[in-house]
A and B are shown apart, each in its own frame.
Chain A
Amino acid sequence: DQQVKQNSPSLSVQEGRISILNCDYTNSMFDYFLWYKKYPAEGPTFLISISSIKDKNEDGRFTVFLNKSAKHLSLHIVPSQPGDSAVYFCAAIRASNTGKLIFGQGTTLQVKP
């Protein structure tokens, strides 16, 4: 039972353009969502998070949008840079399981110069 899904295995964008990575979830009890970035042979690195009481959170070039009614979140990267090329994972958690992040399968982003 995949509670967090990233349906696009890969995405390719041109440098300077917007990258939009999508994530869907099925468990309405999730109340906190995170995005992680992973380079080859390294562990995931935290990027940005959002609480379920918000619909948007912004940090520099990264913005996360949450649509609770659709159980959908997205990560926008503007402008995209070649160094952003990595695997991006969305993750979700609920208050009753404070240590248990549920991750999606990941989306590989390639930013072309």
Chain B
Amino acid sequence: GAGVSQTPSNKVTEKGKYVELRCDPISGHTALYWYRQSLGQGPEFLIYFQGTGAADDSGLPNDRFFAVRPEGSVSTLKIQRTERGDSAVYLCASSLAGVYNSPLHFGNGTRLTVT
């Protein structure tokens, strides 16, 4: 079946604007994760959903960042009042269950550039 799909693949926005990044997980995967990868670094955890609820949002850097997964499938990461430091590749992943029982399947990411 299809893998994790992320749209858009690239997003350029001006400082101060609002952006939404979308993630379509693999069908049937209950767990969904958002990570952020800056140049030369490994992926950095943002938030983890189990079903519709955020099981761990400790990685969200501040209240400008918010994510939802209203029906337990598609998720949207929302960033308000974007700053140049938000520029990064935003990765979404899904898994059948938690990390211990099934590996994370990552999408190709959305490259966000804030000018």
Contact = CB atoms under 8 A, between A and B. Distances in A.
Contacts of A93: 99-100
Contacts of B106: 36, 43-45
Contact of A46 (B4, B31, B105): B105
Interface residues of B, number: 28
B108 A42 contact: yes
A91 B100 CA distance: 12
A34 interface: yes
Interface string B9-52: 00000000000000000000001010100001111110010100
A63 interface: no
A101 B41 contact: no
The size bracket of the interface on A is 20 to 34
Nearest to A9: B40
Interface string A44-66: 11100100000000000000000
19 contacts: A32-B99, A43-B4, A44-B43, A44-B104, A89-B43, A95-B100, A98-B48, A99-B33, A99-B55, A99-B56, A99-B98, A100-B45, A100-B48, A101-B43, A101-B104, A103-B42, A104-B42, A105-B42, A106-B42
